[in-house]
Chain A
Amino acid sequence: MIVVCGIASERPIALVIDALRRRGLPYAVLHQRHFTDTPIDIRVDGTDVRGHLRCDGLTVACSDVTGIYTRLMDWRLLPEARGADQETLRHCQAWHQALGTWIEIAPGRVMNRASATATNRSKPYQAQLIRRAGFRVPETLVTDDPDRALAFRDRHGRVVYKSISSVRSIVRLLDDEAAARLPRIRSCPVQFQRYVTGVNIRVHVVAGEVLATRIETDQVDYRYAGRYGGRADLTPWTPPRELARRCADLAGGLGLALAGIDLVLTDDGEFYCFEVNPSPAYSFYEDHTAQPISDAIARALAGR
């Protein structure tokens, strides 16, 4: 039995559900927004984890679960939490805590456990792990000193800035307009990075299987190309075998059964790794290229 946790209509989850259905794999959906009708009762006895979940009217024994795909949103942002009374909020919190704990200790393949996804909370922290795995990372400066930031830009010519954490994570060029606001970084340091130009590559690693997409864009952050009137053309791409192996090793080393790795291939043939996304919105790439990422996820969850 495979359990899918999150909001069923969200595109990445909907695609996984479709893929499981097409393959005839047994699955149940644990609707995050249905927490009031979805009791959790699990007993942890030593290393033994037993109990039941109610999913869509179906009772699922934890001992039957062999795979979990989870893409839970912050419970505090659920529509059901907006304006809810205190008791509902406490129940919602307790439900998510119980579910999150079960996901951490459940045997079988989990995409992904919180303990593995957390590296993305700090980009420079994760960059240190990425570099240790043998990838180049763009030279990075995190500072609250406007003069240092300007010196960094003077040296590299073009520099981007972005959040240090995973919150408000949009990449922008440090142009003159942004540079004029640098005195504001005094109370909250900002991350600056050498702007590495080239072709964007998104590599999805699904339990060791590698599916790569090439993105041509005229924007700094191709994910928001549409918002800023730019273009982003996505095509399937076959990575060199050595690069594919390193990507699989990187994801495996971070404990991620599913990962979206952001690379840039520079004009002189160097690969730089920007980030490993532990909860990738892979549907964006699948929808544009028809690459069978959700099918790979379904197969991996079934252990095939």
Chain B
Amino acid sequence: MWLVLCDAEDRAAHWAAAGLRERGLDPLELVDAGTLTRTERSTHRIEEERGRGEDRTEPEPSGDDAADGDRAGFELTLPDGRDLASDAVHGVVNRLTFAPLHHLRFASYADTAYAMAEWDALVLSWLQCLAPVTVNRPSPLGLSGTLRSPAEWTVLAAAAGLAVSPLRLTDDIPDEPPTDRSPARTLVVLGDDVYGVHDGESLDGLSPACLRLARSAEADLLGIRLEPDAHARHGARFAGATLLPDLRIAGAAMLDGLHAYLTRLPARSR
């Protein structure tokens, strides 16, 4: 089974799921965050040692090639009747941002905060079971990878070799965020490839720095916004990064690359 995990309104994820199905990933299930948190039944186990989970109903992973993550797994029954078992997942496109609890009612703010923390912690641990076959891998600072402030991204981008703009950290109350009218371009890094840039374009010269940035951010998939700057090397400077790029900007090439990337991930039960 292949999975696309996303928020309900993530059109790029729906587009990617359709494109990956067309390219032969079957069965591929798209599961939105709100469905995950309304499971009919969920079981998540972390075993002491391989094979010690004696009340498991599923067979133990076999063979020496079983990933380390096999000692932790989950089985979920979704509200629409679909079953998800971590052992059966070959690869995941992970674009989850949070665990929504709109379907629950709480007596107090404290109970709401507690339930949100509990569900976020549980979904993070589920995702960690799939981390070896997941793009992007989860982080405790973000279900789809580590969320960073603009200053943190700026430092990483500068270290990777991209031109950056200076910024200030102050305790001033921020004004309304300015409307972004800059003609920025977004490049998408996936593994060792950069999408959204054409051969011969001056931006192509920034590809190595973009790859370094994605690696230092520990992101397999990263969108990098670049704005024109005639004074910067290769004519552009860093304007931001996202772990949830709009994959549609790179079209069919992006889908081909994503398909190839997922099918090259370490085999679990395939």
CB < 8 Å neighbour of A164 from B48, B125, B171:
B125
B260 near A: Cβ within 8 Å? no
Q: Which of B120-145 contact A (CB under 8 A)?
A: 120-122, 124-125, 128-129, 138-141
A242 near B: Cβ within 8 Å? no
Q: How many residues of A contact B (CB 8 A)?
A: 63
What is the bound-complex CA distance between A143 and B57, given in angstroms?
15
Q: Which of B135-173 contact A (CB under 8 A)?
A: 138-141, 146, 148-149, 151-152, 154-155, 158-159, 164, 166-173
Contact B171 A128 (CB under 8 A): no
A178 near B: Cβ within 8 Å? no
A198 near B: Cβ within 8 Å? no
Q: What number of residue pairs across chains A and B have CB atoms under 8 A from each other?
A: 174
A46 near B: Cβ within 8 Å? yes
What is the bound-complex CA distance between A216 and B46, given in angstroms?
27
What is the bound-complex CA distance between A51 and B113, given in angstroms?
35
Contact A40 B120 (CB under 8 A): no
What is the bound-complex CA distance between A155 and B173, given in angstroms?
56
- Which one, B21-29, B64-72, B204-212, B240-248, is touching chain A? B64-72
B11 near A: Cβ within 8 Å? no
- Which one, B37-45, B227-235, B251-259, B262-270, is touching chain A? B37-45
CB < 8 Å neighbour of B121 from A44, A114, A124, A194:
A124
CB < 8 Å neighbour of B39 from A90, A120, A144:
A144
Q: Which of A113-154 contact B (CB under 8 A)?
A: 114-115, 118-125, 127-128, 131-132, 136-145, 148, 151-152
Q: Contacts A121-B120, A168-B114; is A148 near B173 (CB within 8 Å)? A: no
Q: Which of B12-61 contact A (CB under 8 A)?
A: 39, 41-49, 52-55
CB < 8 Å neighbour of A42 from B46, B154, B164, B170:
B170
Contact A101 B115 (CB under 8 A): no
Contact A141 B114 (CB under 8 A): no
* A interface residue numbers (CB < 8 A to B): 35, 38-47, 49, 51, 87, 90-91, 94-95, 97-99, 101-102, 104-105, 114-115, 118-125, 127-128, 131-132, 136-145, 148, 151-152, 155, 163-168, 187-189, 194
> 23 A-B residue contacts at CB 8 Å?
A42-B168, A42-B170, A43-B169, A46-B154, A46-B164, A49-B155, A91-B173, A94-B173, A98-B170, A104-B152, A114-B141, A115-B146, A123-B121, A125-B121, A125-B140, A128-B129, A139-B53, A143-B41, A144-B42, A163-B114, A164-B122, A167-B114, A188-B119
* B interface residue numbers (CB < 8 A to A): 39, 41-49, 52-55, 68-69, 71-72, 104, 113-115, 117-122, 124-125, 128-129, 138-141, 146, 148-149, 151-152, 154-155, 158-159, 164, 166-174
Q: With contacts A121-B121, A122-B140 known, what are 13 further pairs, Cβ within 8 A?
A: A43-B166, A44-B154, A44-B155, A90-B173, A101-B152, A115-B141, A121-B117, A131-B71, A136-B48, A136-B49, A141-B45, A152-B55, A165-B117
